[in-house]
Chain A
């Protein structure tokens, strides 16, 4: 068993790619990031390739940069590789043409992923790979984790031998993230497959001043064509070379592959042709159907380019009468997808040849399946085969969805199962992204994979949220290799675990349970009382399926074992104790062994605690007898808000929230990716264990709690007293303290109890303490469950109160601005997120006239990942209009919005002037000359525009209609360009820089978390010196890029660097100034992030320390000051007053390095302290400088004075 590994697809591939590479250029993109992360970590650990050298792993600013670096490394003679997916692969295409055109050996490993169209998707299909067909790269497919590893080796050997670069691909998530038990490829195999003479040939072709050549020339019409054709022999030979490499690999490992592998009945009549992970499921189904006597088969395409039709035809049984070609991509407007067409041409040409393979050309149909990881299971494979039996099969079809618009989809029987379901042990676990369920399950798979003969598979499904993300783990174990590349079906799991009682309310947890299955529930309710607390539907299922029911109070066990709130070990122990997959003693010994391996010397005592938790778990795990009778009452909480929802929301959004998206038919969907805003409020995720409770006797109505809330779950309203009279009894109202409001008005601060995440930041920031008891603040956390119903009623009442008049609110004060309605609420961002308060603030100040261009990243995921969006509207239906274009082009995308807005506004003005007679000169002048600098001015203009619209509709001439279509552009709009540091500092910097120089009136908000947060904490140029990050596993050696300084260099850009947790008023001021500045404004906002390795309940403290240590100086650079003869730069924070280490020592991103490279860590900390002091000093000097124009004037007058002196 020694050469068995239990790893995921990314690791399987990286494990080979790393060992046969010398230069590895990386850039993060889901789902391929894991390959780069592992390579970087291995290099930091000093792991060598098969030739004894440590590969050089380097992160670039974009995938385009990575491909360019690989190209250069190859040209200079090394073996180089890269990893990517989706848009990343598209950015590599220009270099791929070059690399292939120069016949340069390399392998790009691609975790195939959907390319963004009507929406972005991180999930797997072949649309990215198919976009590279023209590059000249060979395309080699893997279908499983084992194959991904093996093909990585085969591709590396073939490319060296045949000189064609290879794009090796495997399905994103389904293969890249599936954990499976595979046979390893040893170093000796790799060394044998990449012999010295082939490596030497690569060196020999390299550019070298010792034997110089010219490559990359520019060619004219006379030669380009011929030179391109000159390469044909290499393409012709390559399939043979790949087959040789496969054969050599087979000899060395016993695992044999063919360019086209056929499985199934030798006399099959119906055959499916496909590639990728779906082929595994198809093979499982074919084998099942063969056992039933059906003559079906599967042809797996491994080498897709160069296309080898002879090999394809040879692999098909001569008995084939009907073929279904399945493509995992969509080419809109084409008469079929690429694989289908290639197969079709091969068959047709062969049929027309002298010696056709088939007496009668088989019937060929084409189907699409599995786009963006859409489920593809045996029932669908069966439906495809069945589709070939009918007299007139659908020539073009889809499978796996219900297309009720163009009726392309094949029906399938969801009850269909293969034998594999009986032969494997399926288990499903519901957990949270934060509770360690996934890592515990990965650990369980490893235990079973490593310690037994069983094969194991794990696949993990996440929802799109960051706070309270639900994870569903699908595990399978069995005596044979597992080909089931699909989720556990309904009624197929022999074990179901619910790690969070929260899901009892929201999910049908027993849908997956097989009859007689074990159900494990983590609940604080004692075993003898738990039955009555279960939803009636669940009770019914438990009785009907004869479920064996176990409960554990995992949080209590963890607490008693001194493990805090860590329940992963407890739940894992329960699984081993009651699933019966291993004998209990053996299983418990294996877990303890795994604990020892995980913590080893570095966590001896935490290992002890784990042992204690394991032993305690066995005592505290109880079986609950399932009674024959079940309680009749359903305890589900009524869905309050759903009743007010629009038809769209009820038909589409609510089922999506309930996890029923797969069953929705095509007709329900918008055809262009357009969705309504204001939908996050329907989720009511009810995550908080505790919520803030206001003490009206202490509250001074400062508004800070509203200001810091990352989820807009605490709000303020000021209203006339009489409106509060109808309030529920427990609704809290206070007399308004400030004289800024009409006398007798009331103020309320209200929490949305089911939207709050319990992050405690509002309580933490609350400055008011009881004079006699400092532990009692004006806001204190209290248990949520007893307050939930009451506060939900209060929240509903609060929402009905009118919003405070935007035109009179004192928006330049914290309490005043916090009366403005947030138009960004209840996002799925992390608990305590440091980014969202900035976005919420922008929507409060400008939301009703905001256009948002959002770069891909965390802010686009919590901003616009279905099922819902946190962007919402005010009572008039106005609010931010939001879109995400790409990761790399966001600044340009926003610039386009500005240009269009300005141009259409100008069009409106031109047409307005032309219609002055009809409309009336006074009104036209008022519209043209409106002062819209203030909120009141904008409101007045809105009124004028609606009068104009009314008038235009009565005029009703073509000219009036033209003007009516653009009249709304006369109202001032605020264009916001929002994104993270990965975008602003790295991949989007070229565009950002250009937009900075444009002078256009756009507002750029950089949410600087100092890493690529969304893809899992990779190093960006914003990462500070001395921090470790993924792709900087050895610690970032360089100083953080100073984006503010770069922006200031343009002189006409408004620049602010803010940290709201350090100085909220400064942030507010910066936002107002930036928006009012009639040119480019950029706000660089410090955003603590979970990737910093600090609990985000310390978010504000860390912001404060970042500022005090000088790591994050607060600045504003306002070019308007220059016109007033003042220096535009104002340094708004004091010189560093604490050592950098006082800030850094609280964050694991810094402290990890102490333990990894102690000397480097000390050096970096010292250097970072110097950086901070130096930078602050430089800013201060800049801010105290005489303005250049003043200085020049002074110098000129001095010179003039001197000149005059001799005459005098």
Chain B
């Protein structure tokens, strides 16, 4: 009651400002009515902060604003199991069953950024998992071809992506080793199913000048990102990138 009384006084004194403030409050309330959106915006802010701080690992200090914008729009909570929903916008990997995880949002942003895709690029993803990475790529306007070996995950992801209207994502269940030759060549490839070998057919399906990103490490413990570039002459260069601003390796350099 007291606050209403004060508002009334305020309203009489400065009507224009008060109306603007009210409008803003209503808009704020509308946003607040969707807690996921608020959480998502704060997640992306966290990602930006982390990216700014992690310049030591040879990763970009500022992520592409389009990537961040895409991450502000893709509803990550729809990609995690119901039990994990409250944690969907925490900056951490989450279990999605079958021994698979949905990557840490920051890692997703970083991998997407590292692909440096041209607009409307063709991308291939090996290891669909929940489909979140594919959705982020599709949100950016790219064509996404994604292969998942676990049929349960492939079916779920396909259904989820089509429900959410990501028509640019093509999901297939099968062995990722051979890539997707019908849709090749690709501007970018993301391999989330880390294996000790990089499949040769994938390198062949990469356009010269294209990039491939592979997160390396055990489940929940991605320690580095392997960036693989195919040069114009067809030769391959790999680069190991640390996602964190790692302290200098030698204390006194």
Q: Do A and B bind each other?
A: no
Interface residues of A (CB under 8 A from B): none
Interface residues of B (CB under 8 A from A): none
